[in-house]
Amino acid sequence: MSTPSRTSIRFTSRSLADGREIIYVDEPGTPERTAEDPRPVEPRVQSGELRHDALVDDWVAVAAHRQHRTFMPPKDECPLCPAGLGSVPSEIPEPDYQVVVFENRFPSYAVTSVGADAPDPTGIFGTRPAVGRCEVVCFTSDHESSFKDLPVERVRTVIDTWAQRTEALGAIPEVEHVFAFENRGKEIGVTLPHPHGQIYAYPYVPDRTKALLEAARRHHERTGRLLGADILAAERADGSRVVVSGTHWTAYVPFAARWPVEVHLAPHRDVPDLPALDDDERDELAVIYRDLLGRLDRYYVEEDGTPVRLPYIAAWQQAPARAGRDVSRLHLQLMSVLRGPGRLKFLAGSESGVGGWVNDVAPERAAARLREVAP
């Protein structure tokens, strides 16, 4: 398996017209980023507030302003295309770019919040400011592309971007957890078709991450080992659900997969988060991750043999900024709601009502299909 050689990349921070930060991530030899945002200066959109759900001891962000965000615009009105290509002003002032990160115009969490501290923020009607940060990560300036179509060197640049932003956002005092993810496909709820992902910096540890931490801590207290490492070792030893394995990474369909198509990708070394990956691990990750995304788009075919462009969520499960880092272990969760061409897995009564998951696809069968559609 060949991996790309790596040289340093450049991060350039600039400001948009409303004061939001935009960061250009460029490979060597790229001219300096100097373009100004030509849009008129407008007040920044504030985030909403966090409300405490006392029934389950969790938090819900109420951000009503997001109802007005851009929804599935035509290509010539895409705000993520470079400046000058469309009929509306772009979020990105440069005429071309490689990878770009900027603060979301319609954030769920932001440094400026309309919420106010309550006397008891965890009470029945407890509220607190939705302080944090939401960032958009544009993978390419090519509107018609997809993550799997990126050259391996560009995938590596995105990985370095995720790592740098995880470290920077995790250093913000109010931030408790950093979550990098990509939604692809209208079935997932994507509002902009341009290839992009997001990074959420939460002022609390979200429920799913909290559950992962609690299970990992119980396992560590019982065995003295990391749960993620033991699961990976067991999957590699069994082998029936392994999709691809390299020197530093293994991808497998989990034994108790919840989604019709679900793959976990884990490093062989115990690391808590993306910043902890070394150069060799990042190099191989770029190759294997791109490989997996290509397999997803060959997983289903129409009756005429046409491959189905699979909607998916790619979610990086990593250690919180402070709590539980001693028992956390990095892994990627790739999942799709599609259980067949044109057929969606709906989270109906059992899943939505009580969290009782039912999967119609045997994980071993899914793994066999993913191995079958190798490049």
- Distance of alpha carbon 287 from alpha carbon 289, whole angstroms: 6
- Torsion angle in degrees (nearest 10) through CA of 135, 141, 142, 146: -30
Residue 353 dihedral angles phi and psi, to the nearest 5°: -75, -50
Residue 78 in marked binding region? yes
- Distance of alpha carbon 301 from alpha carbon 374, whole angstroms: 14
Residue 81 in marked binding region? yes
Most distant CA pair in the chain: distance in Å?
A: 62
* Amino acid letter, residue 149: D
264 carries an active-site annotation: no
The answer to whether 165 and 181 have CB atoms below 8 angstroms apart is: no
Angle at the Cα of 161 (from 63 to 196), degrees rounded to 5?
A: 50
Task: Return the structure tokens found at 303.
Answer: 């009756």
Residue 143 in marked binding region? yes
Write down the H helix ranges in 23-140: none
Residue 134 in marked binding region? no
Count of residues in the chain: 375
- Distance of alpha carbon 294 from alpha carbon 149, whole angstroms: 8
The answer to whether 264 and 299 have CB atoms below 8 angstroms apart is: no
Residue with tokens 């969760």: 333
Closest C-alpha among 4, 1, 351, 299 to residue 151:
4
DSSP of 51-85, one letter per residue?
A: EEETTTTEEEEE-GGGGGS--S--GGG-TTSPTTS
Given the residues 52, 177, 196, 264, select the one marked as catalytic.
Answer: 196
Catalytic residues: 196
List the binding residues: 78, 81, 143, 194
- List the binding residues for Zn(2+): 78, 81, 143, 194
